[in-house]
Amino acid sequence: MPYRPTAKTQARRTERRSALLKTALAIVTCEGFQALTINRLAKEAGIATGTIYKYFESKAQLCSEVFRLATEKEVEKVRAASFPEQPAHCRKRLANAVTTFAERAILGGRLAYALIAEPVNPMVEQERLTYRRAYADIFEQLIEEAVTKKQFPPQTAHVSAAALVGILSEALVAPLARGIPITDHNNLVKAIKQFCLRAVAG
């Protein structure tokens, strides 16, 4: 009974899968989810259309994974800024978290737009929800801690957290969506930071 998958083939399989994800992410980074089709991905990866389906259940699943791949690192950075090793005043931590998000989004450019605002099909939208939720959870935890410590004024933490996500999305991406390039990064980030601090930390 010859041939069963071996470590070597398994490895190749795994590798190819992540190569596919990387290629897909590259497409999304340059041209958004709208440009990510199975045919295009296959062509760019140099394999046949049908082969994609050996690696991914469906396009929906592929998109979700691409979204997560693009997102995980970002969320981690914001979490790290919000809950640093070194103890710090909550106000400072919030400022860092917001700045981290904003600066990375601006550097990300087209990708940030794809993740935050590009019109996408429902399955990707679902993933986006999860992503926003991840940020909101971080902010909520931070705000609750700060309110308990009397560092922030009393407020409804989950509303404030959602609001912060909204602020960041809209203030950063509205210009991108309108095709206005962000020219003055520093001032924009500063304005957003100040707004968030006033809103949450009083």
Alpha-helical regions (H) of the chain: 7-31, 38-45, 49-55, 59-82, 90-108, 110-116, 122-148, 157-177, 185-201
Contact 27, 67 (CB under 8 A): no
Assign 150 to helix, strand or coil: coil
Q: How far is the CB of 57 from its own copies (least distance, A)?
A: 20
Residue type, 132: R
Handedness of CA 39, 40, 42, 48 (dihedral sign): positive
For helices 59-82 and 7-31, the axis angle rounded to 10 degrees is: 80
From the list DNA, its own copies, none, partner contacted by residue 25 (C-beta under 5 to 8 A by kind): none
Assess contact for 16 and 107: CB atoms under 8 A: no
* 136, interface contact from DNA, its own copies, none, CB < 5-8 Å by kind: its own copies
Q: Is 68 or 132 the residue whose CB approaches its own copies more closely? A: 132
**Which of 76, 127, 84, 144 minimizes the C-alpha distance to 104?**
76
Q: Which is nearer to DNA, 61 or 187 (CB)?
A: 61
Question: Any contact of residue 53 with DNA (CB under 7 A)?
Answer: yes
Instruction: Name the binder of 5 from DNA, its own copies, none, CB < 5-8 A by kind.
Output: DNA
Q: How far is the CB of 58 from DNA (least distance, A)?
A: 4
Among 54, 89, 149, 185, binds DNA (CB under 7 A): 54
For residue 81 the two structure tokens come to 């800024």
Of these partners, DNA, its own copies, none, which one is at the site of residue 96 (CB under 5 to 8 Å by kind)?
none
Q: Which does 159 bind (CB under 5 to 8 A by kind): its own copies, DNA, none?
A: its own copies
Ramachandran area for residue 46 (φ above 0: left; ψ -120 to 50: alpha; else beta):
left
User: Rule CB under 8 A: which residues touch its own copies?
Assistant: 34, 119-122, 125, 129, 132-133, 136, 153, 155-156, 159-160, 162-163, 165-171, 174-175, 177-178, 187-188, 191-192, 194-196, 198-200, 202
Nearer of residues 1 and 180 to DNA, judged by Cβ: 1
50 binds DNA (CB under 7 A): yes
**Contact range with DNA by CB under 7 A, out of 41-49, 84-92, 95-103, 152-160:** 41-49
